[in-house]
Structures are given as C-alpha cells and as structure tokens.
Structure 1
C-alpha cells in the first residue's frame, strides 16, 4: 500500500471512528438528527458500533488487507444506507454529511487498488 492510500485510510478510520463515537456517546447534534430521520433509538448503539468496527477494521487492514476490504465495503454500505435514510426523511440539506464520511473510504479503496 502506498503512502497516499495509507494516509487516506487512516483519515477514513478517524472520521468513521469519530462518527461512531459521537453516536455511541449520544452527542446532542447526532441525537437531534437521528430523531429527525426517525431512526429507532434501539438501533443507535448497533449503528454506532458498526461505524466503530469499520474504523477499527480499516486500521487493522493496514496490516491485513482483506480486513480493510471488508471494513471498507461495510462502511460504504453503511453510508449508502445513511444517504437513503436522510432522503426518506426528506432532510435533503443533510445529504452531504454521510457523503463526506463515505468519500475517504471510497478514496482509500481507489488508492489501494491503484497501487
């Protein structure tokens, strides 16, 4: 893996980890959004854990590439689901947020496969 792919993968892990932590710690801005999107509160912990696991998988994947691929796929699917959820909630102004979190994951994939 080249340096650019490594840096982007670490950035993607940091962003997803922060997002997972924010949901698990029930940050006010996250709770407000989740309520607006009508995501059941019983899903919040598993969703936050999924993001945290994806972030950890990206970091482990620096040493075990197959783990990075699985974590990346999982995070891309997660953020795709987040975009769908935001659209279903008709909160169109929030669409960029899951896209911003997904972008470094996709970029890490592209850089990793280009190397």
Structure 2
C-alpha cells in the first residue's frame, strides 16, 4: 500500500459526494429529514450531520497529500455507514433508506478503502 492512491479519482468522487451530502444536511432537505425521523434520530442532533460530512470531504481531499489521512477518513466513513445501517435496522426502516442510501454508501466507502489499500 502506498500512502497516496494513484489515480486519486475514487477518493475525489467520494469527497464530492460527502460535500454534496453536507450541503443537503445543512438545513435537511425533505428526504434527509424523513430519514432522520424514520430512525428516530433526535432533532436536537440533526445539526451534526453537515459538519461530519464536510469534515469527511476535507479529510479525503487533504488525504491526497497527507499520508494515510485519506485512508483513516475512509475508514471512519465505513464506520459511520455501519452505524447508519444499524440505526435503520433497529428502527425497522428496511426500505429505500437502508438498502439504497445507507448500504450503497457503505459499498462505495468500502470500495474506496480497498482502492486506497491496493493503489
């Protein structure tokens, strides 16, 4: 494993997705608010989603130049989406939010993490 993946496009794509998701979480759009409600995530904590997403995007981009930061950030995103999936399962929210959104993002993050290790 090298400290900087080559090519970097998978990391950049994941960073762009996280940044866009952060924008959508600033003042949660309807489908994100519904997702938070479906898993019974307390409204007083909704604000934390955007800074987490922006920090992830920043960590991924900075990780292109700072050894191992991108790998650590991607690993943290894997953990984040494992927790998100467990929240959906616990709340019995077994529809689109679980199988498309959370699981799809977990697959993307795991794929990027593997890419970082193989590159």
State TM-score, norm by structure 1: 0.88
**Could you report, residue by residue, the CA deviation over 1:40-77 in whole angstroms, capped at 9, with x for unpaired residues?**
01211112211221111011101113211221121111
* Counterpart selection for 2:87 from 85, 88, 98: 85
Find runs of 4+ consecutive structure 1 residues off by over 6 angstroms. Answer: none
Aligned length: 113
1:30 lines up with 2:29 in the alignment: no
Aligned mates of 1:51, 1:16 — CA distance in 2: 5
List aligned pairs for 1:52-63, cutoff 5 A. 52-63=54-65
Q: Which moved more, 1:15-24 or 1:33-42?
A: 15-24
- Report how far residue 25 of structure 1 moved: 2.3
Which runs of 5 or more structure 1 residues have no equivalent in the other structure? none
Write 1 or 2 for the structure with the bigger share of helix: 1
The residue that corresponds to 2:98 in the other structure is: 95
User: Cα RMSD (Å) of the superposition?
Assistant: 1.4
What TM-score does the superposition give when structure 2 sets the normalisation length?
0.86
Distance 1:44 1:66 in 2: 29
Contact 1:51 1:75 in 2 (8 A): no
